[in-house]
Chain A
Amino acid sequence: GDSVTQMEGPVTLSEEAFLTINCTYTATGYPSLFWYVQYPGEGLQLLLKATKADDKGSNKGFEATYRKETTSFHLEKGSVQVSDSAVYFCALSVLPSYDKVIFGPGTSLSVIP
């Protein structure tokens, strides 16, 4: 079945460090890929998305490229801030039916000053 795997957390980085959170997926169809972010005490919100191979999603300095050949969608940011501390979820949704978004387990990120 369709699934998403993320790197284990928690991840702790110093401010201005480079961030990579790995995400790989298994899908029987043609998935759209997402990164959601959950700040403390809040619900999940969409951070970025990519709907086809080689697309790059970007938002708030975060980027992820849809790599069909490696079935990956790694999240990167060149310089993290304390305000980026949150839990990050990789997710997919498979065409032709958007009836379910399948989430990875989440990766907790803590950025220290």
Chain B
Amino acid sequence: DAGVIQSPRHEVTEMGQEVTLRCKPISGHDYLFWYRQTMMRGLELLIYFNNNVPIDDSGMPEDRFSAKMPNASFSTLKIQPSEPRDSAVYFCASSSSPEAFFGQGTRLTVV
């Protein structure tokens, strides 16, 4: 398996634009997590899914953030409209056990 695959690796966008981050989890994993990492706040759990169903989205900072998982092999995290303070590295992770497997992340810069 290729591991958790995220795209794009880097995204630079202007304030106010819509941004969509994509994630392909490891096949067979039934949990999918979205994290955000910044220097100031460290690693934050935004939302997670179990069997494609959102379980806990309490970490989503605002209504501008939304996440979907239409099937077991794909998830998106959307920010609309984006703001400079959304600049961070966004990680997707998947698991079927206590161990979580992370993607390489998407570095988002909002200017």
Contact = CB atoms under 8 A, between A and B. Distances in A.
Interface of A: 32, 34, 36, 42-46, 49, 51, 89, 93, 98-101, 103, 105-106
A43 B43 contact: no
B55 interface: yes
A34 B104 contact: no
Contacts of B93: 43-44, 101
Interface centre among B43, B45, B93, B95 (most CB of A within 10 A): B43
Contacts of A93: 98
Interface string B2-24: 00100000000000000000000
Contacts of A106: 42-43
Contacts of B45: 100
A45 B42 contact: no
Given A44-B91, A105-B42, A99 B55 contact: yes
24 contacts: A32-B98, A34-B98, A42-B104, A42-B105, A43-B4, A43-B104, A44-B43, A44-B93, A44-B100, A46-B100, A46-B101, A49-B98, A89-B43, A93-B98, A98-B98, A99-B50, A100-B33, A100-B45, A100-B48, A101-B100, A103-B42, A103-B43, A105-B43, A106-B43
B55 A43 contact: no
